[in-house]
Structure 1
Amino acid sequence: MRIRGDVALGVVVLVDVLRVFLPSLITLFGRAGSTPAEMMGLYAVSWFLVAFLAVPLTRYVRPRTVAIGAGLALLLARLALQPTSGGDPQLYLASAGLLAGLVWLVAIATDAGDARPATAGVITGLAASTVIHAALDGIDLMWRPGPLPWALLAVELTLFGIFLLRTPAAGEARPGAPRVWLLVGPALLLWGLYTGNTAHAQAAAGSSAPAVAAIVAALVAAAAVLSVAPSAQLLLRRAPIPAVALVASAAAFTFGKATVDGVHGVAPGWTIAAQVIGQLALGACLAHAAAASGPDRPRRRGLAAAAGMLLFVVSVFGYYAAYDLYLPNQWVPLCAALLVAAVAVAGRTGLPREPYGRRFPPVVAAAVALVAAVPLWQGAVPGWAPPGDGLRVAAYNIRMGYGESGRLSVEQQADALRALRPHVVVLSEADRGWLLNGGHDDVRLIAERLGMRFIWAPATDEVWGDALLTDLPVTSVRNHVLVRGGPTGAQALEVGLRWQGRDITVIGTHLQPPPGWRELDQVEQLGRIAREAAGKGRPVVVAGDLNLGPADPAWRVLTDSGLTDPLAPVRPFPTVPGGSAEQIDHVLVTPEFTGRDQANPDVSHSDHRPIAVTLALRP
């Protein structure tokens, strides 16, 4: 049974566009959280609903013609996205490209008499996207400048165009195809959340072994490719085996958390096993669904594909908007896995004796080699050193790695921090693998580009929170979960450091207050943590996005806790880009410290400015 190359390449391009559309929805349409989640959800869902119109369109235009036309529109939209500098053009081009991709998929489903080659194309496309994303170190071609990304994009789109124009006409219909098309959306969700998300694998590998992270990414990519290999399909020939494995992997991803080294974080064994087993099981479940039999009509296949993608976007918002609505979201991956497993088992059939492909060993070898080549793209870290006559502390709310223009800007953020020459950096709003933000690891990318180690502090979930980066010896780590405030949770990361023969404590945090600081529970808890740390005889630094200013009632709570403001002598000290005088990012210290060389460069690589101050101990 052959694999449809047009479907595989189309999925790669559609995923490329999704990785622009979803972050643009948050950073451009969402306008830094000022747009209600309901409005963002309505905007996103509307494009998926319009895709249903492709089904009646195929009554008047041949589905193959619709597929070719929509595929060309998807290709052109992706090409037009590459030179954009962000803003509204990026948002609307990504939206148009998404709609074109959805119409293409619906038309492919309507026209595909035999779902098995097309299903194998979907699985292969997701596998290829895993490999490409890992090989690009999580920074997709869309976000990379220079001629090389253009050349690679040209290859990708040219191949898609060639295969698209050779889209085969509808073959002999096989009953039962609608079932598998309903699963494309849920499969894309599971793949993006965890099975094909290499950022999750790298986050699980930890901060101290970049080589381990690359190896884990290679394993995940190889598993994605192997999910359509003969060996995997023969091993998982009977449907209940991959169905149970898929549900178990989703449960492991959702509940397999642990406390590692005193910091609430990912348990590597759980996460990596869930990804590898889940990817193998997901591909086998789709293969079983495609091989099932039952009543079938062409337009029913198209409706199933559109409905499946609608399930995808609803589930994405169900998973991530749950944080804003203070609702549990563990049900989302489990329900998606149960749906895929149930449809796979419902066919009550085994896979055909003939596997889906015969040439996968070379593909697997190429995939692993490609992922292993990740360091080749990273480049050398520019040489730099912090000052020797003081403790330089920086804080930066990096907004999931995106600048005000809506473009991924982790490299520019790292450059801005490097220019401040810090010993210690506190990062807020750091994302280490959210599908909603493109599936990249902000913390690792910035730390590697600064040549610093990092300590991770999850807040909302295992891959969203804050981090502390440093070049100083670390003597202790303690993570405090703060009382509930804003939707994405809050923590205080207390890290003991050795500086110039003296033990100090740095507390990195991102406060999430209720509106107007009506309740002061969270800031009072932070004040107690700072007092207790100071009571151990160590100078204390508190840094991060505190979401408060000197005029707020919560400010007095911190100053009454024994903290002083080394930025006060240079106030006004705006921490928001542009003309605003607002200051919500701070560095506070105990009285042993004095401050100088305060800096807040007006750069737009986030919706906050990076800030820094050099601290010295009083004589």
Structure 2
Amino acid sequence: MTPPRSRFAATLAVAAGVWVLGDLVRAWAPSLITIFGQAASTPPELMGAYALGCVAAGALAAFLGRRRATGAARVALAVTLGCRVALQVTDGGQAQLVAASLGVAAGIAWLSLTATSAGDVLVVGVAAGTALGVVTHAALGTWGAVWRNDAWGWTLLAVQVAAVVAAWWLVRDHRSSADRPSAVARRTAWLLMPGLLLAGIVFANAGRASAVAGTAGLVVVAVASVASVGTAALRPRRATAWAAAAALVASAALALLVAVDVEGVPAVSPPFALIAYAAGLPALTHLWAASDHGRPARATTAAFGGLVWVALLFVYYAGYDLGYRADVVVVLAAAVLAVVAATGVPRDSVPTRTRTSATAGAPAVLLAGVGVGAGVAAAVTAWLGPSLTVTALDASASPAASEEQVRVTAYNLRMGYGMDGTFRPDLVAETLLASDVALLSEVDRGWYLNGGQDELAVLERLLDRESVFAPAADPVWGDAVLTALPIEESVGTPLPSHGAVTGAQALSVRALAAGAPTWFVSTHLQPNDGTEGVGPQTEDLAAMLRGRLSDGIPLVLGGDLNTRPGSDAHAMLLDLGLIDALDALGTAGVTSPADRPTARIDHLLVTPGLAVSSPRVGESQASDHLPVSVTLTPNG
């Protein structure tokens, strides 16, 4: 039998590799749409083909290294780790895309080869690596380490490097005994990468959990990730496997399909959706363990599962461009995975693999104590970490307007990614620091394709301000109002799509500005024909605004309206009695694209009772739009 130290070392090696691979995916996926492509302007099938090529390269490398799987896996992991280090020192652009792409390909090759050489500890190791990624991401307040050039980012990278090196050193004694095959079951290898996709989109997504319940959500998903290591090590029975299958599908449906009105804003994930984040990942890892029975995996099996992973990734997110229910795709994928995994447990049989896992032979009381201790540590880390690792900026360095004035900024954030393809919420926060109110578009609160960050929560901590979020495309993508002013009321108004594939809404927040109630409306109109095409949606927005204006309270409308001054849609808003607060800028007021602006499609419109001064278009490259700002003074 393999010595316990060797089993532990092999588990550590798998865990460290999965942790590193997770960070690489966190940079690779958004690099596809911001560097290789240009979001909606690049066909999804083209980006999908590139992504499939990266995974196919990993499969080819695994096939070529199959005869010396252990040694080839170490080489692949070294390349993976080297790419992770390279990402920490790159400054975006093509270097970032190349490092992330090569790292993902190498990581896929490593995981495939490891599935044939360390299958006895693979499931527990993958669960442990996922838990490390979740807990550290939660502790960073979802501002991923791969995007941070501070002490926290470098410290975590050093820990990753140390973990991989230590595992290499210790695992040299790891051998599989004659009575235990070294390869994981083929069924399990097929399900690894699709399962990691489900984890990334929902169950291990700290960003989505944060959007549901703030810091409490971070704590829940962190503790659940630790619990998932235990469920991966449990001995599966048919009953427990089918119970886990039911829990997985129910959790996916609850997290993705259930939405309610919360404090005046519709289509929000309810707080009780935290049940999904508590149950989903433990159910998934138990299903991996349950599937580990049958024919052993080949060197390319997990890589072929990687092709399913990347195909599902783009099928899911293409739904936002093509107009079908993307969330239903994930629930169906969870159902397929659950059934395939649960049917892998023979009747009245316990898979051999679980008898000889990394924890085999340890007293149950000791394991329970370690598990409880790890869970408590994860909870404390997730609870205290965000406030320690995301420090508020010094507001005195950029003072806001006086008590008689209000500085307002409208900014399309592009999910936090700048023209160089990096996630830099600190640069966004610096841009917004001098504003009392920020009307934000394209706010991302946990899309896996964008790295799984709760961008709004990060900005709240950096600016020490309050926000209201309103979903548009789904419960974690939409618009927001971020402000230092006292908020009195918020109302979300869904806008009909009129053929546009991405959803839209108008968020109205009433706050005390210069001592008087003022409506601040944040929206992002969606074109339905590739050019402006926002006329019908502007009519719906105008109908809502008439109701707001009828109460006589001053109003500020801001956001990416996808219309130019002088257009019919722009005139429709001016006909309401609103004033274009940026009109004085003339041709200097162009905002898009940020690196070579040619059009003003970002706007601030105000009621006549607000005097306009200091209109400005910012220069920040932290998005593909430029921010627009104005100072407002109530008349009389």
Q: Is the 8 A contact 1:575 1:600 kept in 2?
A: yes
User: One-letter code of the match for 1:472?
Assistant: L
Q: Is the 8 A contact 1:390 1:615 kept in 2?
A: yes
Equivalent residue runs for 1:91-110 within 5 Å: 91-110=97-116
Q: Is the 8 A contact 1:404 1:605 kept in 2?
A: yes
Residue-by-residue CA offset, 1:390-448 (whole Å, 9 max, x unaligned): 22211111110111111111111001110xx2221101110001001011111111122
User: One-letter code of the match for 2:395?
Assistant: G
CA distance in 2, matches of 1:235, 1:223: 18
Equivalent residue runs for 1:449-598 within 5 Å: 449-484=462-497, 486-514=500-528, 515-518=530-533, 520-572=535-587, 573-576=589-592, 577-598=594-615
Structure 2 CA distance for partners of 1:502 and 1:308, relative to 1, 3 Å: same
Pick one of 130, 141, 153 that aligns with 1:126.
130
Number of equivalenced pairs: 602
Structure 2 CA distance for partners of 1:369 and 1:519, relative to 1, 3 Å: closer
Structure 2 CA distance for partners of 1:93 and 1:175, relative to 1, 3 Å: closer
Identity %: 37
CA distance in 1, matches of 2:295, 2:233: 28
* Residue aligning to 1:209: none
C-alpha displacement of 1:380: 4.0
CA distance in 1, matches of 2:151, 2:488: 45
Q: Is the 8 A contact 1:250 1:333 kept in 2?
A: yes
Residue-by-residue CA offset, 1:570-606 (whole Å, 9 max, x unaligned): 2221223344242111100122222101122211111
Q: Secondary structure at the residue paired with 1:62? A: helix
CA distance in 1, matches of 2:463, 2:150: 22
Q: Is the 8 A contact 1:242 1:281 kept in 2?
A: yes
Q: Is the 8 A contact 1:399 1:607 kept in 2?
A: yes
Q: Secondary structure at the residue paired with 2:41? A: coil
CA distance in 2, matches of 1:52, 1:129: 24
* Residue aligning to 1:376: 388
Verify: 1:68 aligned to 2:79, yes or no.
Answer: no
User: One-letter code of the match for 2:324?
Assistant: L
Q: Is the 8 A contact 2:113 2:300 kept in 1?
A: no
CA distance in 2, matches of 1:44, 1:462: 26
TM-score under structure 2 length normalisation? 0.90
Pick one of 242, 258, 261 that aligns with 2:263.
261
* Residue aligning to 1:244: 246
Pick one of 620, 623, 628 that aligns with 1:603.
620
Moved more, 182-191 or 466-475: 466-475
Pick one of 316, 321, 332 that aligns with 1:319.
316
User: One-letter code of the match for 2:527?
Assistant: P
Structure 1: state its 5+ residue gaps: 206-212
Pick one of 283, 286, 302 that aligns with 1:284.
286
Residue-by-residue CA offset, 1:521-540 (whole Å, 9 max, x unaligned): 00111122222211222222
CA distance in 1, matches of 2:241, 2:187: 14
Q: Is the 8 A contact 1:511 1:545 kept in 2?
A: yes
C-alpha displacement of 1:150: 2.5
TM-score under structure 1 length normalisation? 0.92
Residue-by-residue CA offset, 1:98-155 (whole Å, 9 max, x unaligned): 111011111112334xx34111101111111101111111122221124553243122
Q: Secondary structure at the residue paired with 2:614? A: strand
Pick one of 324, 331, 336 that aligns with 1:334.
331
CA distance in 2, matches of 1:354, 1:170: 10
Q: Is the 8 A contact 2:585 2:616 kept in 1?
A: no
* Residue aligning to 1:210: none
CA distance in 1, matches of 2:554, 2:31: 42
C-alpha displacement of 1:221: 1.0
Structure 2 CA distance for partners of 1:520 and 1:590, relative to 1, 3 Å: same
Structure 2 CA distance for partners of 1:174 and 1:516, relative to 1, 3 Å: closer
Equivalent residue runs for 1:133-532 within 5 Å: 133-164=137-168, 166=171, 168-169=174-175, 171=177, 172-173=180-181, 177-205=185-213, 213-229=214-230, 233=234, 238-290=240-292, 292=293, 294-296=294-296, 298-299=297-298, 302-346=299-343, 347-348=345-346, 349-350=349-350, 357=359, 358=367, 359-374=370-385, 375-384=387-396, 386-387=400-401, 388-418=403-433, 421-484=434-497, 486-514=500-528, 515-518=530-533, 520-532=535-547
CA distance in 1, matches of 2:231, 2:258: 30
C-alpha displacement of 1:461: 0.2
Q: Is the 8 A contact 1:530 1:542 kept in 2?
A: no
Residue-by-residue CA offset, 1:253-304 (whole Å, 9 max, x unaligned): 22221111220243444421001111121121111112x2x233x52xx332
Q: Is the 8 A contact 1:143 1:407 kept in 2?
A: yes
Moved more, 529-538 or 429-438: 529-538
Verify: 1:41 aligned to 2:48, yes or no.
Answer: yes
CA distance in 2, matches of 1:571, 1:478: 33
CA distance in 1, matches of 2:103, 2:255: 31
Residue-by-residue CA offset, 1:214-264 (whole Å, 9 max, x unaligned): 233122111111122279837987322212111211121222211112202
User: One-letter code of the match for 1:243?
Assistant: A
* Residue aligning to 2:94: 88
C-alpha displacement of 1:25: 0.7
Structure 2 CA distance for partners of 1:235 and 1:313, relative to 1, 3 Å: closer
CA distance in 2, matches of 1:260, 1:498: 21
C-alpha displacement of 1:305: 0.6
CA distance in 1, matches of 2:482, 2:384: 26
Pick one of 1, 7, 29 that aligns with 2:14.
7
C-alpha displacement of 1:175: 8.4
CA distance in 2, matches of 1:69, 1:519: 53
User: One-letter code of the match for 2:123?
Assistant: T
CA distance in 1, matches of 2:144, 2:256: 27
Q: Is the 8 A contact 1:233 1:355 kept in 2?
A: no
Structure 2 CA distance for partners of 1:136 and 1:386, relative to 1, 3 Å: same
Residue-by-residue CA offset, 1:463-511 (whole Å, 9 max, x unaligned): 0000001222323221111121543211111222233443322211011
